[in-house]
Chain A
Amino acid sequence: MNKLMSAAILGACALFCSANVQAAFPEKPLNVVIAFAPGGTSDISVRMLAPKLEKIFGQPLVITNKGGGAGVPGLNTVLQAKPDGYTISAPATPAFSASIFLKGKPYNLDDMTFAAGYMINDRILLTKPDKPYKTWQEFIAYIKANPGKVSIGSGASQAAMEVLKSIAIKENLDVNFVMYKSGGEASADLIGGHIDACELGVGTAAYQAARKGELSVLANLGTGEVPDFPAVPKLHKDLGYEFFTTVIYSFILPKGTPEDIRARWESAIKEALDDPELKETFHKAGFAPAFLSGQQAKEFSENELKTIPAMLEYNKQFKK
């Protein structure tokens, strides 16, 4: 009897508290932890969103950058924070694949709460327009005609590099892969003609050059729509390759965050993304804003977490 009583009181308390929270949230500044260094796509995109979110919440956003370790330490600090909705990580999703590549403990996506996804970060394969190949098919044919002569760079994405390797295996290509530390470094070498083609994220310097026609796009390594190049074929959907890489940039809360607070974040992010002014800023930078509900973002990331180990297994056949 006593147990029942206390349970009832506890339950009532919880109800009361959560109702209270719903009315008041947010009643103090919100902490946003960007798991990457300032100046990159991750940082810029979150900071573009921030003023809109501040207006919607009526509270300032305190943004801190906790870079390094491919986003893993940044996400981890948030996951250990109090699950009250006042500490959130963005864009946390790149840490999932990074933990696999860094041979760390893979994330269990049930150990966190997905607020929402706000941007699709696809990778595209770029080349110079003066090259003899203009399309993906011509590019493959060119590599086959010139074995060992073609170099493809990667603007610092392990996942994209693995996707390209899986294609080299499937098409039996003799090609050189060159890894870069940043998109900027890779862009410079592509424009300077030191490598023949390069995969890069949307919104990088090379992407801007492609918009101007100084570089051309051969393929999309992901599944999203690249805003300025709708006709570019997607490796998985259009060309029938098995593997692909797409990262949904998402806001992630610690496990155990109350559902009503999570939903408040979700609706705020949706509202911010509907703003035409924000859409314009994103578009100018070459970013592809896209709203995904927390559930959708989670499913998408789960799928990604499953394909990477399969791809790495397949790529063991790759000979240097």
Chain B
Amino acid sequence: MLDSLMAAFGMVLDWQNFFWALFGVTFGIIMGAIPGLSDNMAIVLLLPFTYYLGPIPGIAMLMGLSKGSNFGGSIPAILFNIPGTPQAMITTFDGYPLAKSGKSGKALKTALFASVTADTASDLVLMFLAAPVAAIALRIGPPEYSMILLFSLVLISLAASSSPCRGLIATALGILLSTVGCDPESGTPRFNFGFIELSDGINIMPMAIGLLAFSEVLRQAEKWYDERHAKECSECVHMSERGTDGDRLTLAEMRSCLPTIGRSTLIGSFIGIVPGIGTTVGAYLSYIWSRKKSRTPEMFGKGSLEGIAASEAGNNAVNGPNLVPLLTLGIPGNLAAALILGGFMIKGLIPGPQFMESNAPMLYALFIVLLLSNVYTAVIGGVFIHFARRLTGIPKAVLYSIVPVFCVIGSYASKGSMFDVSVMFIFGLLGYVLNKLKISMPTLIVAFFLGALLEHKIRQSLSIARGDWMIFVDRPISCAFLVMTLAVLIFYILRHARSGQPAA
């Protein structure tokens, strides 16, 4: 172990690793910060580059990319209410109100602090708990998976939005949209209306870009139009007042966020164990739990630091455990991991059980590089915050004409398909309408994503059990989540009935 560790340090101490990790983090933050361009796209773009680098610098760059863009996505989420990456959408709940009240610096610093802390904690989970985490992951079969999904879905639809009824509508819409594509079992196309492009279902990237970014542009255009008609206003509209002393993040505030970060790391890490559920769900569940636990739950949604911390910690903590199945079994837990797997394989390194034994120094070197990327994210992120705040001085007209360009580029680039650009525009319009109806788009997107998985997993379970629904009750882990789901449902129904008004 010590020998391997020493060898690992030897491998890491090379300017190339430091340089490429730095490059990865910087590029990642930029890509993450541009709405429409995502972390996965950044990895896809730079993956071919890594083939020309050695294994460790190549992996260092990819890791840096995914960490950097994870933080980068929260910058426009806070400043402009447009998440740079889908996982940052929960950060808009509190980040944007805070920025509007002139405290964008404070919000950004909270996001960075929570991101880096939770990311480091989840990397430690990966390093020291990989074996037990892998063992738990293997116990999660289709029935367990289904019930975990059902629990998340029910909790998010009831607890996340202002009224449970609207939450359920958003969820239902999301699940309805998720049925477009192919029947997961027979592979027969369904609801694709003759478009072969829809045979994999609606592509989530253009859908999320349309709902979150493009619809916001429409909303801002409408607002601007209204304002102009109301009174003459200056050409350059600042989005927020700057220069207030609320920009500093005090030590006391950092400390007050720590319990939230701890809780969110726990939730995020658990979500990370279950492959494929993803960062957004981690952020959402953390947010809900933190609001429940907070001493000032009424501040959530109005600019609570805890809210930002919960969302950012929750989505970053997913990343460490997500790499566990990749390193222990060679099975990628998410798209980024699948791309990294490709990077490994081209280098002739095959992740999996053998990798742990035969390439121990390489593995430790990888861990060191992960931690190095976190340090970089903290430093580079800090620099970016300094400059990003000035973006709020950009005239609205300029800013909101740049965003649609990136929306189009991002939708096209995710699969190289013009069809997806139309999908983005359609969802942009839909998002505008849904916003008027106060239907939560993050809930809809999460439901779209989880709905498809849930159908798939329930049908797998029923295939195994020959259509016997008792399989969900017979298996202990799945039964526990089923009971929890029912408890949440009963709790909300009772609360709703007692208060006589929409539950918060």
Known contacts A102-B196, A176-B463; A281 and B348 CB within 8 A of each other: yes
Considering the complex, which residues of chain B in the window 53-105 have a beta carbon less than 8 Å from any beta carbon of chain A?
A: none
B186: chain A residues within 8 A (beta carbon): 179
B185: chain A residues within 8 A (beta carbon): 179
Q: Would you call B154 an interface residue if the criterion is a C-beta within 8 Å of the partner chain's C-beta atoms?
A: no
- Of the four ranges (under 10, 10 to 19, 20 to 34, 35 or more), the interface on chain A belongs to 35 or more
What is the CA–CA distance of A178 and B462 in the complex, to the nearest angstrom? 9
Known contacts A38-B342, A191-B138; A72 and B276 CB within 8 A of each other: no
Q: Is the CB of A205 within 8 A of B342?
A: no
Question: Which residue on chain B has the smallest CB distance to residue A74?
Answer: B416
Partner of B196, one of A37, A38, A72, A177: A72
**Number of B interface residues in the complex (CB < 8 A):** 49
Question: Which residue on chain B has the smallest CB distance to residue A47?
Answer: B346
Q: Would you call A51 an interface residue if the criterion is a C-beta within 8 Å of the partner chain's C-beta atoms?
A: yes
What is the CA–CA distance of A102 and B181 in the complex, to the nearest angstrom? 10
Task: Mark contacts of B459-491 with chain A using CB atoms, 8 A cut-off: 1 yes-contact digit, 0 otherwise.
Answer: 010011010000000000000000000000000
Q: Would you call A208 an interface residue if the criterion is a C-beta within 8 Å of the partner chain's C-beta atoms?
A: yes
Q: Would you call A83 an interface residue if the criterion is a C-beta within 8 Å of the partner chain's C-beta atoms?
A: no
Known contacts A68-B197, A188-B275, A189-B141; A48 and B352 CB within 8 A of each other: no
Q: Would you call B243 an interface residue if the criterion is a C-beta within 8 Å of the partner chain's C-beta atoms?
A: no
Interface of B is mostly: helix
Partner of B276, one of A158, A185, A189: A185
- Residue of B142, B186, B203, B331 with most chain A CB atoms under a 10 A cut-off: B331
Q: Is the CB of B329 within 8 A of A179?
A: no
Q: Would you call B395 an interface residue if the criterion is a C-beta within 8 Å of the partner chain's C-beta atoms?
A: no
Q: Is the CB of B200 within 8 A of A68?
A: yes
Considering the complex, which residues of chain B in the window 164-190 have a beta carbon less than 8 Å from any beta carbon of chain A?
A: 182, 184-189
Q: Is the CB of A44 within 8 A of B44?
A: no
Q: Is the CB of B48 within 8 A of A47?
A: yes
Q: Is the CB of B464 within 8 A of A188?
A: no
Known contacts A66-B416, A188-B137, A188-B138; A205 and B352 CB within 8 A of each other: yes
Q: Would you call A28 an interface residue if the criterion is a C-beta within 8 Å of the partner chain's C-beta atoms?
A: no
What is the CA–CA distance of A213 and B350 in the complex, to the nearest angstrom? 16
What is the CA–CA distance of A44 and B140 in the complex, to the nearest angstrom? 29
CB distance from B189 to the nearest CB of A (A): 6
Q: Would you call B12 an interface residue if the criterion is a C-beta within 8 Å of the partner chain's C-beta atoms?
A: no
Q: Would you call B456 an interface residue if the criterion is a C-beta within 8 Å of the partner chain's C-beta atoms?
A: yes
Q: Would you call B199 an interface residue if the criterion is a C-beta within 8 Å of the partner chain's C-beta atoms?
A: yes
Q: Would you call B10 an interface residue if the criterion is a C-beta within 8 Å of the partner chain's C-beta atoms?
A: no
Considering the complex, which residues of chain B in the window 341-378 have a beta carbon less than 8 Å from any beta carbon of chain A?
A: 341-342, 345-346, 348, 350, 352-354
Q: Is the CB of A66 within 8 A of B346?
A: no
What is the CA–CA distance of A101 and B186 in the complex, to the nearest angstrom? 9
Q: Would you call A131 an interface residue if the criterion is a C-beta within 8 Å of the partner chain's C-beta atoms?
A: no
Q: Is the CB of B339 within 8 A of A38?
A: yes
Question: Which residue on chain A has the smallest CB distance to residue B188?
Answer: A103
B330: chain A residues within 8 A (beta carbon): 205, 208-209
Q: Would you call B51 an interface residue if the criterion is a C-beta within 8 Å of the partner chain's C-beta atoms?
A: yes
What is the CA–CA distance of A119 and B478 in the complex, to the nearest angstrom? 42
B329: chain A residues within 8 A (beta carbon): 187-188, 191, 205, 209
CB distance from B163 to the nearest CB of A (A): 34
Closest 7 CB pairs of A and B: A194-B141, A192-B138, A39-B338, A205-B330, A39-B342, A184-B331, A178-B463
